[in-house]
Structure 1
Amino acid sequence: MWPKFVANKFLRKMLGSNNIVADFPNSTETMLDLEETSSTSSDQASLISSRKYITGDQGRHKIFVGSWNVGGVAPPDDLNMEDWLCKHTDPADIYVLGFQEVVPLSAGNIVLGLENSKICSRWNSLIREALNNSISKHVQEDKVGEFYKVHPLKNHSIASLDKSSNNFPHCFDCITSKQMVGIFITVWVRNDLLPYIQHPSVSCVGCGIMGCLGNKGSVSVRFCLHETSFCFVCSHLASGGKEGDEKNRNANATEILSRTRFSRGPLRNLPRKILDHDQVIWLGDFNYRIYLPDTTTRSLVQKKEWNMLLERDQLKAELMKGHVFQGWREGIIEFAPTYKYYQNSQVYYGCDQKRKGEKKRAPAWCDRIIWFGEGLKQKEYSRGESRLSDHRPVRAIFIAEIEVPSDSRRLGSSFTGRFRCLKDHLEECSNEKISCNVDRTSFYSE
């Protein structure tokens, strides 16, 4: 066996690739380049320091955040995502979706830590179809050999930048998509906001086996919208239902907070650590359980006594004791525990009397969404009802107050010309099939 510190160094480096997949071809100027190429660094610093900020609806944006442990189950082609995403009721401006166990946590997947472009492309195609259902005729998915291909979006994606009518159906583009073993996060933005998105970056932290492998850990995404920095942390923390296992989860969270690092940006003034950002949302399978005997927990679940169960919820208890997530907030939980179900069933694991000899796992709110920072107001906290895996997906909707420069209209109009170039390039490529894992822009942090 290698010495532990050598293995840690090697394996952390292997999992530390910060390249991301987005909806912009390599040869085209992207949102990352727009502000950076429009002026020198000294001109930028002067512009930033002299900007005035405005309030009102222009400074508010709706953010949808969802988390789902899919249990290593590949999504079927007919999986209905719209119910979970609530797209048909009142669409958000930004969608941040985090998944855990997108691939089975086998020894090979954990040790090699290779990204599975096929499964991630499949999830992204389903998300694209759900978010852009009004224009889905422009998006097709083919199976060619063993790889899934996605055709580039055509005129509607860029043309909507010139539309001022609220009735015009905006489409959504992926600005960041990143996988580490079973953890996968993907961020989608309404395309008229693309000119104001800057500095997307990712940071991966593995804290599973040997304290470094990616079966547990996090993938974090950073970007700036106007002058407000956002950070989204998608994690899968240590499992286990025994007393004392919550300490392992606390340790994972502490590791993620201390080891996550982002690039400093072109002016070297961007936040590097999670808590340095203006607004932070943490989503994932936290794996915290309930401090009650199994039979008591199941009885209270059957009676829907959520308040009594939440009084013994491990995450809330650890928060109150100050052992983890100090200063973080969570919305009121008014839904049933999200774990653990029989697959394709509404029955909690261990409740089927016909299946004897099973290891019983009491229901728990393993899947959570919490937030940190000022300017975030949660409007909804609920769960979906898909039976694809042994977890139910959760979702939260936030209204984010952001700092908007008073000259944003001028900046937006100047960016439109640059995006017309992107439109022309996409039209040239419209007859070609672009693989989700190639011919996409990769951005690297320091």
Structure 2
Amino acid sequence: MQHFAMFGYYMLVHVCSCMLLLDREVISSLSLLQHGRTPKGETSEQIILPRLVTSKLLHRQQLHGHGSASEVSSVVDENLGQKHLNGHKDTFVYRVFASTWNVGGIAPSDDLDLEDWLDTRASTWDIYVLGFQEIVPLNARNVLGPTKNGISAKWNSLIGEALNKKERKEGAKLTQESTNSSALEGTVQGEGFRCIRSKQMVGIFTSVWVRSSLKQFIHHLDVSCIGSGIMGCLGNKGSVSIRFVLHQTSFCFVCCHLASGGKEGDVLLRNLDVTDILSRTWFPGGSTQELPEKILDHDQVVLLGDLNYRISLEEAETRSLVKAKNWAILLENDQLLFEFSRGRHFEGWQEGLITFSPTYKYHPNSDQYYWCFDAARGEKKRAPAWCDRILWRGKGLKQVQYETCNYKLSDHRPVRAVFHAECDVSEGAEVNGQNPH
């Protein structure tokens, strides 16, 4: 294992030298990381990324943008019934729950209750798409070493427990009322939720769950991972995308963790990350059925994650406005909304109206932002920002809910959205014993 690690390390240095023409300072930094030594108060990303900005920008100049941005829309009306499209296709409307959460490298406890986050007590949805960032710390060992799947498996176990808790209770009640085991089996299997696909890339983790009764209508399930971190290719930043076709409508869910930092020029790296992810993500096409191969080719797309866009104001002014809860002025200076208005990188994308507090940076296990506390020596007191966002695009996809959730596990708050998604179904087809309207 030691020889393998050394081999990987020297290959990494070789790639850096040849592809990016790194100077001695960068290679020296990589050597420090390989031996587990970093200057006090600095992370691996803080050491390497600033020295790779120029190379990263040059590397991505060959990529092309995707036109101008659409205007930011407000939340649409919830009154979305099933409707008939035309003489050849019918439509079913499904309820999709999507959420993003940067958990800051903190492993969940065995008794962590996710029911409030997943809104299982108030409502149940048809599809759950859950995107995480930093499920493991982004240190050199995790970025360069093998993927640790134990943490993602634990998150999936907790998710499954929360989603199926209600069904288990109903099944237990049925057991008391009836000795008909086949009825019990049908209830539990028909109404429960199953994970159809999950995928981890370093700290990015995407997990998709659907009602068991929907699984038979889902096909062409694929995943694509893009690393856009150190050297423009490592997985400390990037995306994990999962796509599938439900009936005759294609979906793509993109979980991202974009370049961090609040310095001038960091927003450009975030824009380049988005362009990189949209350009490089690829799914296999079908030999007998035409299938979308790129993210933007899908009928309906949701992009969520720690997009890391900040507020372009002096930190003192930002903090003052946050204290006053003056979201209007803060949002006028939000970098992502500014990119929307410039019309260069987010053509066709929409975002719901933001009515919640900035999602970053909180002190863990507290409602206080980090700058309210005395930071450790050399540690930055980062100003609050709406880093965690959910965007969408596509005909027939309507957002009906957009909010944050008060889980205090990490320095980020999870953000969640609910969509009504129209799916094309062959004329006269039955789904779960019902005909579409």
The two structures share one fold, judged by TM-score above 0.5:
yes
Contact 2:168–2:188 (CA<8 Å) still a contact in 1? no
Q: Contact 1:98–1:283 (CA<8 Å) still a contact in 2?
A: yes
Question: SS at the partner of 2:372?
Answer: coil
Deviation digits for residues 400-428 of structure 1 (CA, Å, limit 9, x no counterpart)? 1111112422x878xxxxxxxxxxxxxxx
Local SS of the residue matching 1:108: helix
Counterpart position of 1:377: 398
Provide the C-alpha distance between the structure 2 equivalents of 1:394 and 1:64, rounded to a whole number of angstroms.
Answer: 11
- In 2, distance between residues paired with 1:365 and 1:135? 35
- Aligned-partner Cα distance in 2 for 1:217–1:399: 27
Please state if 1:191 is matched with 2:223.
no
Equivalent pair of 1:203/1:219 in contact (CA under 8 Å): yes
- Give 1:92's aligned residue: 125
Instruction: Report deviation, 1:118.
Output: 1.0
Please report the TM-score for the alignment, with normalisation by the length of structure 1. 0.73
Per-residue deviation, 1:299: 1.1
**1:15-73 residue CA offsets vs partner (Å, 9 max, x unmatched):** xxxxxxxxxxxxxxxxxxxxxxxxxxxxxxxxxxx993124xxx100000000000000
CA shift digits 1:377-404 (9 cap, x unpaired):
1110001111100100000000011111
- Tell me how far apart the structure 2 counterparts of residues 330 and 232 of structure 1 sit (CA, whole Å): 15
Q: Distance in 2 between matches of 1:201 and 1:133?
A: 28
The 2-side partners of 1:218 and 1:128 are apart by 23
Asked whether the 8 Å contact 1:64–1:94 carries over to 2, the reply is yes
Alpha-carbon contact 1:100-1:183 (below 8 Å) kept: yes
CA contact (8 A) 2:213 2:432 kept: no
Equivalents in 2 of 1:158, 1:328: separation in Å? 42
Asked whether 1:254 is paired with 2:272, we answer no
List runs of 5+ in structure 2 lacking aligned partners: 1-12, 21-85, 172-180
Which of 103, 106, 119 in structure 2 is aligned with 1:70?
103
The answer as to 2:304 corresponding to 1:283 is yes
Do structure 1's residue 110 and structure 2's residue 143 form an aligned pair?
Answer: yes
**Contact 1:129/1:136 (CA < 8 Å) preserved in 2?**
no
Q: Which residue of 2 aligns with 1:394?
A: 415
Indicate conservation of the 8 Å contact 1:195/1:412, yes or no: no
Between Structure 1 and Structure 2, how many residues are aligned?
347
Residue 315 of structure 1 is matched in structure 2 by 336
- Amino acid across the alignment from 1:120: S
Within the alignment, does 1:171 sit opposite 2:192 as a pair? yes
Q: 1:227 to 1:253 in 2, by over 3 A?
A: same
Q: CA deviation at 1:3?
A: 3.9
Please name the residue that 2:153 is paired with. 121
User: Per the alignment, in what secondary structure is the counterpart of residue 104 of structure 1?
Assistant: coil
Shift of residue 155, structure 1, vs aligned partner? 7.5
Identity in percent: 55
Report if the CA contact (8 A) 1:158-1:191 is conserved.
Answer: no
Among 345, 369, 374, which residue is 2:366 paired with?
345
Q: CA deviation at 1:269?
A: 1.4
Q: Report how far residue 157 of structure 1 moved.
A: 9.7
Instruction: Specify the code of the residue in structure 2 equivalent to 1:384.
Output: C
Q: Over aligned residues, Cα RMSD in angstroms?
A: 2.5
| Residues 217-245 of structure 1 deviation map (CA, whole Å, 9 limit, x = unaligned) | 00000001100000000010000011111
Aligned to 1:2: 14
The aligned amino acid for 2:159 is: I
Q: CA deviation at 1:78?
A: 1.4
Q: Deviations over 1:76-95 (max 9, x none)?
A: 11112111111111111000
Structure 1 residue aligned with 2:186: 159
Amino acid at match of 2:127: I
TM-score, scaled to structure 2 = 0.75
Change (3 A) 1:176 1:7: farther
CA displacement at 1:160 relative to structure 2:
4.2
1:358 offset after TM fit, Å? 3.9
| Structure 1 residues 344 and 321: alpha-carbon distance in aligned structure 2, compared to 1, 3 A threshold | same
Whole-Å separation in 1 of the counterparts to 2:317 and 2:131? 31
Q: Is contact 1:98-1:185 (8 Å) kept?
A: yes
Of 37, 52, 66, the match for 2:88:
52
Shift of 1:138: 11
